[in-house]
Amino acid sequence: MPDLINDFIGLDTEYKLASGSTKRRIHLDGAASPLVMKTAIDARDALLPHYSNSHSFSHASAHVCSQAHTWAKQTILDTCGADEQYSLVSLGNGTTGVMNNIARRLTKRASEKPIVLVSAMEHHANDLPHREQTALVNAEVIHIPLVGESAQQGEIDLVALEALLKEHPGRVNYVSFSGVSNVTGIVNPVAEIVALAHQYDALAVLDAAQSAAHMSLNIAEYDVDFVAFSGHKVYCAGSPGILIAKSELLAHYPSDEVGGGVVERVDYDSVDYLNSYPQREQAGTKDILGIYSLAKVMAALQGYGLDKVQAHGVELWQYAAEQLASIQGLVVYGQTEQTRLGALSFNIEDVDHGLVAAVLSDYFGIAVRNECFCAHPYVSSMVKEALWDLDLDSVPEEQQAAMINRKRGMVRASFSLYNTRDDVDALCSALREIVANKESFEKEYDISELGE
């Protein structure tokens, strides 16, 4: 058990179960938002007595906040392995906000490079912004296929990626992909994908929402061009969206987010923007408390050892997969040899994913997530065999869409630094009870009302 475990808030929170007893909750939903580290709250509390707007340069507390902000940005860059080529820009709205921002910037390259390659395993946050932006300029997103015809492995097909890059020589704007899948926990070969993109003169965009808390991002070593992640996925209460990018690219493709703080001078009919980076990127007031907390957490993780953090994630994922395999009718999605951590998605034959998630919470105090995890195409591609089994004719037409949706989902348990083998054992024993008492749970719950 990692010794940082005592640093998490809410591990002892108890809930009343359907049986009437109370039980310490087990949080297996860290892929959505993990528990918050005390370090994050302590950092916020330490800065609060000085709280002010860092844009007001003239007073002492503004100086303290401004210094804290500068320190925090540099610390996050350092802990992510970004060297002096890179700058950090924080935006609101987590990874989603950052991806929209990146897509808007890079669309400026679309006339020369009208193709964007997005992996087929992406969260909607790393797919829809690219679709929306390319659609505005008659450019196009092509999804990089998954390995194999049935997609059961869940891996990105690197051969297909190279074929796409070759097929559109010099015309691919960027390749966008996640470091770790939020569905299968597959750890993608970041360095290899970036190298392929660069070999064919495309940029590489990394969605690190699921990797930043679990491993070293090695941004400079892997030579990634743009990286996005969120504070709330890295054990923080708030959620600054973090963009780390090569400063040269930020200067070339400036943000369209403008306002106070990024100008030299404004008249009614003219604007003189700052041309120094990243100052040109600091429009508006930043979430200084959030960024400061995040920096303190990332420094704590680094101090603990990012290798140890990753090893804990990989070991727990493997242990869970082995234990779950002994449950009758349970299928873990993604039949791959690749390293995995964090998210583990499964279904139990003939047991509705919504029922499993609801019973785990109500009867066993175990928090998981179910349905499609904002990755509809990826989830569908892996459960499509189940979809083929659907007897749609047996239900009225107006209920068919709901039936497809229900079948398309999965249950996702996701493991964070505070989770232990005991949590996995508790999950397995709860699932065994659900399988054994399936009929009675089915009678108790109205499946059509169990949502994500």
Contacts for 383 with CB less than 8 Å, ≥ 6 apart: 333, 347, 407, 408, 409, 410
Does residue 289 sit in helix, strand or coil? helix
Q: Is 345 in the site for ligand PMP (CB under 6 A)?
A: no
Contact in structure between 349 and 442 (CB atoms under 8 Å): no
The two structure tokens encoding residue 94: 């987590």
Q: Which amino acid is present at 248? A: E
* Residue 39 φ then ψ, to 5°: -50, -40
Site string for ligand PMP, 140-179 (x = CB under 6 A): --------------------------------------x-
Binds ligand PMP (CB under 6 A): choice among 75, 87, 90, 96: 96
* Ordered alpha helix ranges (H), 227-339: 247-252, 288-304, 306-324
* Chain length of the chain: 452
Which residue number, 79 or 239, has a Cβ lying nearer to ligand PMP? 239
Residue 125 interacting with ligand PMP (CB under 6 A): yes
* 370 near ligand PMP, rule: CB under 6 A: no
Sign of CA dihedral 364, 368, 372, 378: negative
Does position 182 interact with ligand PMP (CB under 6 A)? The reply is: yes
Strands 172-178 and 115-119, by their bridges, are parallel
Q: How far is CA 134 from CA 167, 192, 312, 414, in A?
A: 19, 25, 39, 33
Sign of the alpha-carbon torsion through 334, 337, 340, 346? positive
Is residue 207 a contact residue for ligand PMP (CB under 6 A)? yes
- Residue 230 engages ligand PMP in binding (rule: CB under 6 A): yes
Nearest residue (CB) to ligand PMP, 113 versus 214:
214
Q: Looking at residues 22 to 41 of the shown chain, list those that interact with ligand PMP (rule: CB under 6 A).
A: 32
Binders of ligand PMP in range 381-410 (CB under 6 A): none
Q: Which residue is nearest to ligand PMP (CB)?
A: 94
| Contacting range for ligand PMP; rule: CB under 6 A; set: 122-130, 196-204, 396-404, 422-430 | 122-130
CA distance 278 to 214: 27
The reply on whether position 414 binds ligand PMP by CB under 6 A is no
Stretch near ligand PMP under the rule CB under 6 A, chosen from 207-215, 330-338, 395-403, 411-419: 207-215
Residue list 51-90, contact with ligand PMP (CB under 6 A): none
Note whether 126 binds ligand PMP by CB under 6 A: yes
- Say if strands 369-371 and 410-414 run parallel, antiparallel, or are unpaired: antiparallel
Binder among 123, 143, 280, 340 for ligand PMP (CB under 6 A): 123
Using the contact rule CB under 6 A, the part of the chain among 53-61, 102-110, 151-159, 206-214 near ligand PMP is: 206-214
Q: Does 361 bind ligand PMP (CB under 6 A)?
A: no
Binding site for ligand PMP (CB under 6 A): 32, 94-96, 123, 125-126, 178, 182, 207, 209-210, 230, 232, 239, 374
